[in-house]
Amino acid sequence: MLHAIQSKEHGPLGDPMAHAVQSCVHCGFCLAACPTYLELGQEMDSPRGRIILMKQVLEGTLPAAAAQPHIDRCLGCLACEPACPSGVPYRDLISPYRAKVESQAVRTWGEKLRRWLAAQTIPFPARFRLALRGAAIGRALGALVPAVLRPMLALAPAEVPRAVALPRISPAQGPRRARVALLAGCAQQVLDPDINVATIDVLTRNGIEVLVPAAQGCCGGLAWHTGDLAAAQAFARRNLAAFPEDVDAILTNAAGCGSAMHEYHLILRGTPDESRAAAFCQRVVDVSVFLSKLGWSEKPLGWREPRSVAYHDACHLANAQNVRAEPRSLLRAIPGLELQEITNPHLCCGSAGTYNLDQPVIADSLGAQKAQAVIATGATTVATGNIGCLTQLRTHLARTNSPIRVQHTMQVLRDGYTAQKSPPSP
């Protein structure tokens, strides 16, 4: 029946979906890696179960509405992929499937409103900043705010950082060793603009010229992972046009953005831009990978006293991009930094784009568990490579009154350069 998935009815995404379905041998190795299966204990809330459901919907033997609750509960964390002995490309199924069936989804008016608000604000920094500042009004209204919108208010920071205008070109310090273009991100520019500032500082210190293209926009990840293919394609085309070809790499410092940009060939599959998108994907690199491969020209000096730092694997860095060793290697290069590992690093923190808005109960449970795992390391700082994880960790560590500082890996590296060192002994 796989030809039914590959049919014209399912368009150019039918082949990738059919291949993913066919690759699954239902062995169950994915179960122990899946956060929602561990949380809910239901077969249909595991990757194996969801693959069966999606196959049945695509073949026309099951209504999309019957599968929807289980598909909606998928984090898209891709922890199932490295756990799978058959190499099932789950990413080639889950997002294309959502794009295919979203028009058939049954949602309440409140759920539709929440999704619309997220889609109209988060990818656009100016709108998102305005929305976050307006969240104070919503918190003041309390119970008058519809329950479906309260998760948005709960995650909104009490204070919104001041906007930072990034220079279009940041010259390399010393001899230029490389020239790159940086994706500034959308939510990151609003929630923690210092991440980009720190990234540029670390790169330029190591002889890397950094361009920040003015015409760039959202990576399209939010739209792609919630089934809005048209919006995802528009964002992808904008970035294809915005980023220059005469650079050594296109760098990302947000795991979710990097993962989405690596899927532009899938987002634009069957369009005239497909081959261009495939070439673009090959040039996208996480900042930690690029810096690790290039090597240091100036190592961080470190701090006066040893600092204990736990590293949290962002799902779309570790699982989607197979980037685990590089951030750890960079952190270990800082003198005096004691790197701590978090138990069950493969389990998602529950952020997953807008998942903590759409599935707040599950997201809260996963966030609380991750916060406890971080606390158990005894670290004073936790570092990670994704703005969603940073926001989730800050929220749940704050709920425990934990003093642990949450930073991006690049911020920790930047601080390693700028912290004052004790004068050398005579």
- For residue range 17-44, what is the model confidence (pLDDT) as tens digits? 999 999 999 999 999 999 999 999 999 9
Domain co-membership, 174 together with 281: yes
* Domain presence at residue 300: no
Task: Give the pLDDT of residue 142.
Answer: 76
Domain co-membership, 91 together with 30: yes
Domain co-membership, 233 together with 338: no
Task: Give the pLDDT of residue 328.
Answer: 98
Domain co-membership, 84 together with 45: yes
Tally the domains of the chain.
4
Domain co-membership, 80 together with 138: no
Structural domain including 127 reads 109-155
* Domain presence at residue 423: no
* Domain presence at residue 163: no
- The rounded mean pLDDT for the chain is 93
Task: Give the pLDDT of residue 7.
Answer: 63
Domain co-membership, 284 together with 316: no
* Domain presence at residue 301: no
Residues 386-394 have a mean pLDDT of: 96
- Percent pLDDT > 70 in the chain is 96
- For residue range 121-178, what is the model confidence (pLDDT) as tens digits? 999 999 999 988 888 788 777 777 788 888 888 778 888 899 999 999 999 999 999 9
Domain co-membership, 317 together with 407: yes
Task: Give the pLDDT of residue 135.
Answer: 81
Task: Give the pLDDT of residue 121.
Answer: 94
* Domain presence at residue 26: yes
Q: Is the pLDDT of residue 316 over 70?
A: yes
Task: Give the pLDDT of residue 424.
Answer: 40
- The per-residue DSSP string of 235-266 comes to HHHHHHHHS-SSSSEEEESSHHHHHHHTTHHH
Residues 297-310 have a mean pLDDT of: 90
Out of 84, 104, 124, pick the residue that ends a domain.
Answer: 104
Domain co-membership, 121 together with 140: yes
Here the CATH number for the domain that contains residue 320 is 3.40.50
Q: CA–CA separation, 60 vs 227, rounded Å?
A: 19
Domain co-membership, 203 together with 216: yes
* Domain presence at residue 220: yes
Domain co-membership, 150 together with 174: no
Domain co-membership, 285 together with 400: no
Residue closest to 169 by CA, chosen among 125, 208, 217, 126: 208
Out of 294, 325, 352, pick the residue that ends a domain.
Answer: 294
pTM of the model: 0.94
Task: Give the pLDDT of residue 2.
Answer: 59
- For residue range 56-108, what is the model confidence (pLDDT) as tens digits? 999 999 999 999 999 999 999 999 999 999 999 999 999 999 999 999 999 99
Task: Give the pLDDT of residue 337.
Answer: 95
Strand order in the sheet with 337-341: 337-341, 307-311, 381-384, 405-408
Q: Is the pLDDT of residue 426 over 90?
A: no
Out of 236, 263, 294, pick the residue that ends a domain.
Answer: 294
Tokens coding 254: 């947000």
* Domain presence at residue 161: no
Task: Give the pLDDT of residue 422.
Answer: 43
Q: Is the pLDDT of residue 425 over 50?
A: no
Domain co-membership, 353 together with 368: yes
Question: How many other C-beta atoms lie within 10 A of the C-beta of residue 348?
Answer: 28
Here the CATH number for the domain that contains residue 87 is 1.10.1060.10
Q: CA–CA separation, 19 vs 94, rounded Å?
A: 12
Give the least confident one: 5-9, 115-119, 256-260.
Answer: 5-9
* Domain presence at residue 25: yes
- For residue range 244-292, what is the model confidence (pLDDT) as tens digits? 999 999 999 999 999 999 999 999 999 999 999 999 999 999 999 999 9
Round the CA-based radius of gyration of the chain to a whole number and report it: 21
